[in-house]
Amino acid sequence: MAGFIGKYLLPREIDFNKALLNQARLGRSMVEELYQACVDEDKDRLASLSTAAMQARKLKAKNMGQLLDVFITPYDKESIYRMITQLDWVTLSVKHFVLETDLYDIHELAEYEPILRTLATMAIALEKGIANLPSKTLGIIAPKIDQVHDLYDEVVETCAKTTATLLAQDDIKHIIRHKDILLQLKEIAKRLHISANTLEDMAIKIV
């Protein structure tokens, strides 16, 4: 009887703090791995990110399935849904970057080191912010959110300056290929930025 009550009548409760942190941790790991692979111009290491991307999709599906299957959540379901989705987009954006560098046959990846380093710092800050959600202390979480916002501005500015330099060249194919790469780097930054916005919304609601 107790088993029946526990299975069918009592509301299930999932540790979504842990679930979201696992997603953020995997995203941070992929961004850091992307940074190192590009700096070393290691195509094999870059290609290995496809395996991590598959793990990220499975983790997203697991978290989303749990969200749809519970009554009790530490935050409103819409906020958790948005965070799961945006963290997944971070990993998808990394996957798309790897795909473009492969299809465009781009080997000069170390030149993007400053942008990639900033992206890695953004991912670390986001993970730390999410790790502190259970503390319900906005004073601890807010600085990490602000850091992501500031670094996003930095990425956009750097991408704009790099694009301007690129457009001054004469090789049209080179311009198109590298401009698309810059756009994809900016997309990774954008997804980290939106995730930080969602984190801010979640943090404000629980303090």
- Determine the pLDDT at residue 107: 82
Euclidean distance between CA atoms 114 and 134, whole angstroms:
33
Cβ partners under 8 Å of residue 194, min gap 6: 86, 89
- Determine the pLDDT at residue 205: 87
Euclidean distance between CA atoms 170 and 154, whole angstroms:
27
State the DSSP code for 170: S
Domain chopping of the chain, boundaries: 14-206
Per-10-residue mean pLDDT for the chain, 207 residues long?
45 83 98 97 93 97 92 87 98 97 90 97 99 93 98 98 91 89 98 98 88
Choosing among 3.40.50.1100, 1.20.58.220, 3.30.9.10, 3.40.1190.20, the CATH entry for 14-206 is 1.20.58.220
pTM of the model: 0.91
